Structure 1
Amino acid sequence: MDSSDSAGAAGRGPEPSDEWWQANPPMLERILALSPAGMAVLDRDLRFVWVNAALERLGGVPRDQRLGKRLRDVLPHLDFRLDIEGIESLTRDVLDTGRPLVDHLLRGGTKAHPHRPHAYSLSVFRLHSATNRVLGVSFIILDVTDRWRARERLALLNEVGAQTGSTLDVMDTAQTLADISVPRLADFVAVDLLESVIRGEAPRPCAHLHPPQMRRAGQQSIHEGVPESVAATGQAVVFHPHSPETQCMLDGRSRLEAMPGASTSSWFATDPARAAKIQEFGFCSLILVPILALGDVLGVVRFIRWQLRDPFEQDDLLLAEEVVARAAVSIDNARRYTRQHSTALALQRSLLPRSLTGGSTLDVAWRYLPAHASDGAGGDWCDVIPLSGARVAMVVGDVVGHGIDAAATMGRLRTTVRTLADMDLPPDELLAHLDDLVLRLIDEEQTADPSLAPAALGATCLYAVYDPATRKCAMCRAGHPPAAVIAPDGSVTFPDLPAGPPLGLGALPFESAEFDIADGSVLALYTDGLIETRDQDMELGLARLRTALASPGARLDELCGTVLNEVLTGGPDDDVALLLARTHALCADQMASWELTSDPSVVADARTLTADRLTAWGLDGLVFPFELIVSELVTNAIRYGNGHIRLRLIRQDALICEVSDVSSSSPRMRHARTTDEGGRGLFLVAQLARRWGTRYTTDGKIVWAEEHLPASDAQYQAA
């Protein structure tokens, strides 16, 4: 833009008779010359007629290159967001309509600094003669770069704080920092974090790192594909102990360096590959800022500008430090969340079963599907528990919430269920005891935090026991979705089972139901996350589940995948636990039972019957110890029981002996003294058997004992 301190400086100028000079020329000259704002007058063809000195300083265009020319002829380099035709269009609109343009923001470079952004405030108004004839327009332009930069920097800082805090992933947070900073602050940004920070661990003092183990967590460039980087995002980055990055992290101070491309070889002497890459792009200036959070060094950020931009200034360093400081808070929060998340997942993995097996009674397949990785560990679980008498218990449960608390509660409930299952409690009694435990947990939590709602600590559960000898299944549920039964022909039913209250209410009793199960049927137990999502209610979810399960003869692993794919069409909104179990009933030649009287003479008969059956099964090696076990159990039943006695032998995964009577008295093992004539029976049973116990029935009790099968017979059973 041209300038003039006098009439002569304004160029040749119009003749005295011209209407432009009808005003007081000396006063006009003084206004144009002394105004701190750039001012100019354009005629009706939008050609420059008057300019002042401030306008020449702002634009850096000599006056002889401006007078008599249009905007498009002298301002091709101004403003990179609004083209010159657009500026002329705005000016023409003022000329045609008379509506002034006030404080319109222009952003771009100048001829003196073509690649350094500037901001200008443009105001345009129309000029009239004394007879109200339109003469042209006048515009006033002010350099508001400082104000604009202050506003842009504030916006940048706000954006960094908001966007980096929107995720709890360390890598995503670092990449967001790089994305926001390019090109608004630098041409290339690389964010390198300590390996321990990415894993969520507490950062070690950098003085103990020789060299520090770093990883590229995020990077961005004005060039497509980030060609100036020698490491991809996620790759390890090695810094020499004397590199500027390492020194920056060691002393915790930022660095600002401006240098020509030839100086990079000395600056990056410890990293020739990176020096060569930077020289390709004509290195201009560099800022290194350590990432600090509560005094701990998390990593370092590198800001680079190439030769086509002005080098960094001290204000840029201050801005970079503030940007990194705000991002560091989010990175540290993400690190802490990663640590908590990893701890919760590790806790959950340690509490969930490593593998589930139902022995030869059940074929089992299961899946656990978390809703979202960001939610952490959930409280869903499933389990398969071997019981006495070749029976197997199946359980699936759901604890409200996510995180360490939910995982810990799930572990406590799972352990409690296994303990109660070992006591051979009926399903309804087991859930009643489990409900008492949840009530105690709620009381403990509310004592520690009275504001906590009881519903936030609730849980649901379904417990089922399958008996392969009777081919019956007993179930009870506590506010849990019903189980599904897939018959051998592929038909799917949902047994009518009382819903029961969720665990933790303690108001209503639990009711169990027992029904027959055909050999080869499949039991499906699951949590509500499988059938209830945002796009489907429970009824629709059950209908989809029924369709997905109707696959007779399908392998259980394949059926698990089919169910998850067809029922969860849009992904789970909550954690999902799915347990499928195919039943295998006991054959007639795997069992033998006899009804005995309460006469002591039948003990010898029981020994003989046992020996004959074991010999027929080819278990001669177990005849002697099992004769003793049967003898002691039948003797106890005769001595302490009433009525008839029943002896049953089962050959399955183990050799099982069961002696039932109608007495409800509980046998107890004790250590007899040397002078006692009795009291050694159960002690002897405990020494001979792998395990033994008692379970109660509706009309009495059953005392049982198990013994390992020989290796050859066990392999036969497995086959």
Structure 2
Amino acid sequence: MDMENADPLENGRLPDPVTAATAVVDARGIVTGWSTGAQRLLGYPSEDVVGRPAAGLLGRNADAPVDFSSADGGWRGTPLLRHRDGHDVAAELRAYASLDRDGSTQWLIVATPSLRPYPRLAPPPYEAEATTEEAFAQCHLPVMIYDAELRALRGSAGAVRALGLSERQMRGRRVTDILPPHICTTVEEGMHRVFETGNPELFHVHGRPRPEARGRHWAVTVSPVRNPAGEIRHVQLIALDVTERHQARERLALLNDISTQVGSTLDVTRTAQEMADIAVGRLADFISIDLLDSLLRGFEPRPSEEGSIGLRRVAQQSVLPGVPESVIQTGNVDYYPDSSPPARCLLTGRSSLHRTLDEAVGIWQTSDPERAEKVRAFGMHSVIVVPLRARGITLGVAVLVRHRRRHPFDDDDLLLAEEIAARTAVAVDNARRFTRERTTALTLQQSLLPQRVAAQDAVEVAHRYLPARSQAGLGGDWFDVIPLSGARVALVVGDVVGHGLRASATMGRLRTAVRTLADVDLPPEELLVHLDDLVTHLRAEEGTASDTDLDMVTDLIATCLYVVYDPVSRRCTAAAAGHPPPAMMTPDGTAEFIELSAGPPLGVGGLPFEAIEWEVPQGSLLALYTDGLIEVPEHDLDKGMAWLLQRLEQPARSLDATCDDLIQTMRPARPSDDVALLLARTRSLDSGQVATWDLPSDPAAVAGVRREVSQRLTDWGLAEVTFTTELIVSELVTNAIRYGSLPIQLRLIRGAALICEVSDSSSTAPHMRRARMFDEGGRGLMMVAQLAERWGTRHLPGGKTIWAEIGIPNEQR
């Protein structure tokens, strides 16, 4: 016997008040009882039916009056009933005899809606009607028919399968009796609107149609069902399972986010963290990314073939705050046994999918109790291990875990994880290669810059060099502090246009050339002329080169500012080649720019360079810089220069503090250009540190000069270098008297070293040569070169100066 369709009273059960309508009819055929279910079925309230003949409830097309007493033990039939609004309702009736309180016979009538089509609809031919009924009943899609009270009338085989209810169980139920609240609210609102507007509606819902089912995504269409008169009497609901389409779309969106958001910076750890942040919550509940430690130290990754493998945790993320599932912190090294899935993945380069009950995971947990405790505490049940491989090299592994999601990873999830890991690995490898190349270029550039500033007496200096943080690469900014003869100093700042190794190499060549030309003691404007010629020759040799870092054609052009300060006269001489002017802050706290004739950049040629000279108060501050400090996207050049003066006028405890303040306040967070900054606070040598003698053109005067020099050295407390100084003075003065022209002058300067200078009006410079056995001359300058730490010739507009530096013992400085 079909228990589902069996009579409930025959099985000792009461009728379902939701699916069945009940009424009581006495022996005279008068209705004496009327249930709520009967009111829902036919629309009559109790007061309109009780006390009236039951025959009035039969439809107009009923074949014959219903006689309940015609069968002993109960009656069953399928008459047409009349709804309150006038249409006929097909129903199955069952009548059961009983006695009322007076002992008279009465009948309990149980009515349920019939499965057959409603006769009020235009009936098709019999065969077509049967085919339509079969097609609806067997439809694999969930299809439901609802009446105006939003109660189910019909349900297809697809609806029976999706909801887990038979069609008989669904009939008479509202959506709220079947579906979860968040689904039924959306569906019922749509059904109401269709009844009101007559327009079909499409909306998407997500949930479990029954508690034991897996969450699904549905595209629900609600459309009106009209009678021949065009009236909306019912609505049809069709639910299409689009779970696979939704999951495919979600996977595609995840891959798109990985492609667009991972690798936003050329930083290895940040790139890995971006992948973890994006994938957690959308694919896994916890993700850890470990890279080979050698990779982060700049070496090609080479995993060990034996023993445990050390991997550095570079990124991790969880759906839980604080990432409590992790056994180590980011930045620490984790060691995996060689039999563990991550170690095997790293060695073989193949991904794997595991349940935590798998043998491989069990062995791993046995060898790592702390990790096993995390697995148990958080209920981890599914694990994916994928390698991060790029250009044939395995960089590390990513471990994806599920513990909040009920359903484990499947093969589609494994394929998605592999694609995510592959794209992330390329971004990580790009960041690794960029970091290594940038470190190499930065090391080269740092080696070409001054490693330490040479000692000198003219200025106190502080400097900063900061490379750009852009993909364009390092620039060609540089600075230098060059001691000159006569206790003077040259301050240099330059900038090679462009970025990359070519700019850095050019910068090193120009800095070397500036030092070479400075040793010749050329005036600033002449030095820039020679430097301009050098750049022109270099460009002619190289041609117009393509900067591979930027993939654009760049000419070899540079700017330079060359400043010479003399602490004896407290005067500065400066010339510029297309470079921003220096700034000077005087002891009273006022800052201003020195107006220079900028001149053309080096390599342009065709125009002369001009130098200016000005007096510098003792204790003044000179600021030399490149345009990366004042020309930034946040403001224009004029505003940057004005801001520089304002910051220089702010009091600071030291030159280093001033450098830091300028860098922090004026340089953008992600600068696109290098910055070179050189600050120099001027000193002066007073008259007590300088001694000058005007000499006659008489060799006999040499002896007297030697005595005066000896006395002055005694006064300065430099008796230990008296003999050396007398020899050098005798040789230089004798040469000037013998080969030079009046006026002849001797000057001693006491600073970190003792400087001896002899000047005359002749432009002929002496040359050191090796004397042969019987030569009477040629040994003087050789002796000077051996006794002095440095010596040289400085040409002047009215002659020349021969100078020599003599070292002073540390205790006498």
TM-score computed with the length of structure 1 as normaliser? 0.91
Would the aligned equivalents of 2:464 and 2:678 in 1 still touch at CA under 8 Å?
yes
Q: 5+ unaligned residues in a row in structure 1: which ranges?
A: 715-719
Distance 1:300 1:572 in 2: 34
CA 1:682 to 1:282, structure 2 compared with 1: closer, same or farther past 3 Å? Answer: same
1:283 pairs, out of 366, 371, 380, with: 380
Q: Following superposition of structure 1 onto structure 2, how do residues 547-562 of structure 1 map, counting pairs within 5 Å?
A: 547-551=646-650, 555-562=654-661
Instruction: List per-residue Cα deviations over 1:295-329 (Å, max 9, x = no partner).
Output: 21100111112264212222222222122112211
Sequence identity (%): 49
Instruction: List per-residue Cα deviations over 1:233-292 (Å, max 9, x = no partner).
Output: 222222123322111111111111124499955342222111110111222111111111
Would the aligned equivalents of 1:690 and 1:708 in 2 still touch at CA under 8 Å?
yes
Give 2:62's aligned residue: none
2:613 pairs, out of 507, 514, 526, with: 514
Q: What is the CA distance between 1:444 and its match in structure 2?
A: 4.5
Would the aligned equivalents of 1:385 and 1:393 in 2 still touch at CA under 8 Å?
yes
Give 1:134's aligned residue: 232
Q: What is the CA distance between 1:700 and its match in structure 2?
A: 1.3
Would the aligned equivalents of 1:281 and 1:306 in 2 still touch at CA under 8 Å?
yes
Give 1:612's aligned residue: 711
Q: Following superposition of structure 1 onto structure 2, how do residues 8-157 of structure 1 map, counting pairs within 5 Å?
A: 12-14=112-114, 23=123, 26-61=130-165, 63=167, 66-76=170-180, 84-102=184-202, 104-111=203-210, 114=213, 116-157=214-255
Letter aligned with residue 398 of structure 1: D
Q: What is the CA distance between 1:657 and its match in structure 2?
A: 0.3
Letter aligned with residue 93 of structure 1: R
Instruction: List per-residue Cα deviations over 1:573-618 (Å, max 9, x = no partner).
Output: 5332222111111110101111112222222232222212112212
Partner of 2:680: helix, strand, or coil? strand
Letter aligned with residue 264 of structure 2: S
Letter aligned with residue 543 of structure 2: Q
Would the aligned equivalents of 1:399 and 1:460 in 2 still touch at CA under 8 Å?
yes
Question: Are 1:173 and 2:271 an aligned pair?
Answer: yes
CA 1:73 to 1:402, structure 2 compared with 1: closer, same or farther past 3 Å? Answer: farther
Distance 2:543 2:167 in 1: 81
Distance 1:384 1:326 in 2: 48
Instruction: List per-residue Cα deviations over 1:454-484 (Å, max 9, x = no partner).
Output: 7554322111010011111011111111111
Instruction: List per-residue Cα deviations over 1:378-413 (Å, max 9, x = no partner).
Output: 332222111111111111122233343333333332
Would the aligned equivalents of 2:301 and 2:395 in 1 still touch at CA under 8 Å?
yes
Would the aligned equivalents of 1:213 and 1:237 in 2 still touch at CA under 8 Å?
yes
Distance 1:426 1:316 in 2: 73
Distance 1:212 1:418 in 2: 52
Partner of 2:533: helix, strand, or coil? helix
Q: What is the CA distance between 1:183 and its match in structure 2?
A: 2.2
Letter aligned with residue 533 of structure 2: D
Partner of 1:269: helix, strand, or coil? helix
Give 2:523's aligned residue: 426
Q: What is the CA distance between 1:197 and its match in structure 2?
A: 2.4
Q: Which has the higher helix share?
A: 1
Distance 1:244 1:156 in 2: 25
Would the aligned equivalents of 1:60 and 1:112 in 2 still touch at CA under 8 Å?
no
Partner of 1:324: helix, strand, or coil? helix
Bigger mean CA deviation after superposition, 82-91 or 157-166:
82-91
Coordinate RMSD, CA, aligned: 2.9
Distance 1:436 1:340 in 2: 32
Bigger mean CA deviation after superposition, 672-681 or 532-541:
532-541
Partner of 2:383: helix, strand, or coil? strand
CA 1:150 to 1:264, structure 2 compared with 1: closer, same or farther past 3 Å? Answer: same
Give 1:590's aligned residue: 689
CA 1:135 to 1:443, structure 2 compared with 1: closer, same or farther past 3 Å? Answer: farther
Question: Are 1:687 and 2:687 an aligned pair?
Answer: no
Distance 1:182 1:393 in 2: 59
Q: What is the CA distance between 1:210 and its match in structure 2?
A: 4.9
Give 2:512's aligned residue: 415
Letter aligned with residue 41 of structure 1: I
CA 1:360 to 1:84, structure 2 compared with 1: closer, same or farther past 3 Å? Answer: farther
Distance 2:586 2:775 in 1: 56
Give 2:573's aligned residue: 474
Instruction: List per-residue Cα deviations over 1:648-701 (Å, max 9, x = no partner).
Output: 101001000001112222321111111111100110001101111111111111
Give 2:498's aligned residue: 401
Bigger mean CA deviation after superposition, 450-459 or 238-247:
450-459
Q: What is the CA distance between 1:110 and its match in structure 2?
A: 4.7
Partner of 1:268: helix, strand, or coil? helix
Instruction: List per-residue Cα deviations over 1:486-515 (Å, max 9, x = no partner).
Output: 111112222221011112212322111111
CA 1:295 to 1:535, structure 2 compared with 1: closer, same or farther past 3 Å? Answer: closer
Give 1:197's aligned residue: 295
Q: What is the CA distance between 1:59 and its match in structure 2?
A: 4.1
Would the aligned equivalents of 2:154 and 2:167 in 1 still touch at CA under 8 Å?
no
Question: Are 1:627 and 2:726 an aligned pair?
Answer: yes
CA 1:72 to 1:266, structure 2 compared with 1: closer, same or farther past 3 Å? Answer: farther
TM-score computed with the length of structure 2 as normaliser? 0.81
Partner of 2:113: helix, strand, or coil? coil
Higher radius of gyration, 1 or 2? 2
Would the aligned equivalents of 2:579 and 2:601 in 1 still touch at CA under 8 Å?
yes
CA 1:16 to 1:304, structure 2 compared with 1: closer, same or farther past 3 Å? Answer: closer
CA 1:662 to 1:61, structure 2 compared with 1: closer, same or farther past 3 Å? Answer: farther
Q: Following superposition of structure 1 onto structure 2, how do residues 268-417 of structure 1 map, counting pairs within 5 Å?
A: 268-306=365-403, 308-356=405-453, 359-372=456-469, 376-417=473-514
Distance 1:685 1:20 in 2: 130
Give 1:537's aligned residue: 636
Q: What is the CA distance between 1:222 and its match in structure 2?
A: 2.0
Q: How many pairs were matched up?
A: 702
Higher normalized contact order (CA 8 Å, seq sep 6+, divided by chain length): 1
Distance 1:8 1:690 in 2: 123
Distance 2:146 2:117 in 1: 18
Letter aligned with residue 135 of structure 1: R
Partner of 2:604: helix, strand, or coil? coil
1:637 pairs, out of 723, 736, 741, with: 736
CA 1:460 to 1:450, structure 2 compared with 1: closer, same or farther past 3 Å? Answer: closer
Would the aligned equivalents of 1:199 and 1:335 in 2 still touch at CA under 8 Å?
no
Would the aligned equivalents of 1:189 and 1:219 in 2 still touch at CA under 8 Å?
yes
Would the aligned equivalents of 2:498 and 2:554 in 1 still touch at CA under 8 Å?
no
Distance 1:50 1:459 in 2: 86
Q: What is the CA distance between 1:557 and its match in structure 2?
A: 2.5
Would the aligned equivalents of 1:358 and 1:392 in 2 still touch at CA under 8 Å?
no
Bigger mean CA deviation after superposition, 566-575 or 483-492:
566-575
Q: What is the CA distance between 1:453 and its match in structure 2?
A: 6.5
CA 1:364 to 1:194, structure 2 compared with 1: closer, same or farther past 3 Å? Answer: same
Would the aligned equivalents of 1:41 and 1:136 in 2 still touch at CA under 8 Å?
yes
Letter aligned with residue 809 of structure 2: P
Distance 2:117 2:142 in 1: 27
Give 1:717's aligned residue: none
Partner of 1:283: helix, strand, or coil? coil
